[in-house]
Amino acid sequence: MAYPAPDILRGTFDLLILKALSWGPAHGYAVGRWIESATGDALEVGEGTLYPALHRLEERGWVSASWGTSENNRRAKFYSLTSAGRAQLRVEVANWRRYAAAVFAALEAPALR
């Protein structure tokens, strides 16, 4: 059962979508599957929230969409990263690394004297 993703995960979710698309164009289902397997199902968000996120990214111009044919010959909407999206991915990855490093550093810091 899906539970509401904490706010901090909203941005992370966009980041993961961009990352998923960095391997090449994919339809929404494939993006969802990749996130599932890559995170070991740890981020179990409602699959439904994936699509508004994709459309929002399209609106911002980070991904573009076109209709194509899926591996089982069905009409499907494929998303791919735009160059702006690629740049955004780089920025967000860097941000996330800095952020995570800071949190880890804090978690491993000695006690307050």
Partner 1 sequence: MGTSRWERFRRFVGPDPRGDVEDELSFHLEMRVRELVERGETPQRARELALRRFGDYESSRTACVEIDERRRRRMVRTEYLTELRQDFGYALRMLRRTPAFTTVAVASLALGIGATSAIFSVVRGVLLQPLPYQAADRLHVVQTLYPDGTAYPALSAPDFMSIRESNQVFEQVEAFSGATLTLLGAGEPREVQGATVSDGLFEMLGLRFAAGRGFVREEFQPGQGRVAVLDHGFWQRQFGGDATVLGRTLTVGGEAYEIVGVLAPDAQLPMPAEMYAPLEYGPTFSATTGTGRRSEFLGVLGRARPGLPDDGIDADLGRIGTLLQSEFPQTNGRLTFSASGLGEMVIGDVRTPLLVLFGAVGFVLLVACANVANLLLARISARQDELAVRTALGAGRGRLVRQLMTESVVLGVAGGAIGLLIAYWGTRALIAAQPADIPRLDQVGVNGTVVLFTLVVSLVTGLLFGVVPALQATGARLMTALREGGRGALGGAGHRARAGLVVAEMTLAVVLLTGAGLLIRSFIELTRVDPGFQPERSIAFRVTMQGDEYGEAQQIRDRVAEVLERLGSLPGVTAGAGTSLLPMSGRGSLWDFQVGDAPPPPNVNAEIGIASVTPDYFRAVGTRLVRGRMLSERDGNDAPRVALINEAGARQWFPNEDPVGRRVTTGGVEREIVGVVGDVLQRDPGQPAMAQLYLPYAQRTTRSVRIVVRTAGDPLALAPDIRTVVRSLDPNLPLAELAPLEQLVASSMARPRFYTALLALFAGLALLLASTGIFGVLSYAVAQRTREIGIRLALGASAGGVVRMIVIRALVLAAAGVGLGIVVAVAMGRVIRSQLFGVSVIDPLTLGGVVLVLGASAVAASWLPAQRAAAVDPVNALRE
Binding site for partner 1 (CB under 8 A): 1-2, 27-29, 32, 46-49, 51-52, 55-56, 58-59, 70, 72, 74-77
Please provide residue 51's backbone torsions phi and psi, each rounded to the nearest 5 degrees: -70, -50
Closer to partner 1 by CB, 39 or 70: give it: 70
When the beta carbons of 51 and 99 are compared against partner 1, the nearer one is 51
Q: Compute the least distance from the CB of residue 69 to partner 1, in Å.
A: 11
User: What span, in angstroms and rounded, lies between the C-alpha atoms of 107 and 70?
Assistant: 45
Q: Which is nearer to partner 1, 48 or 110 (CB)?
A: 48
Q: Residue 1 or residue 8: which is nearer to partner 1 going by CB?
A: 1
The nearest distance, CB 3 to partner 1, in angstroms, is 10
Residue 73: CB minimum distance to partner 1, A? 12
The amino acid present at 108, given as its one-letter code, is E
Q: Report the nearest approach of partner 1 to the CB of residue 61 (Å).
A: 9
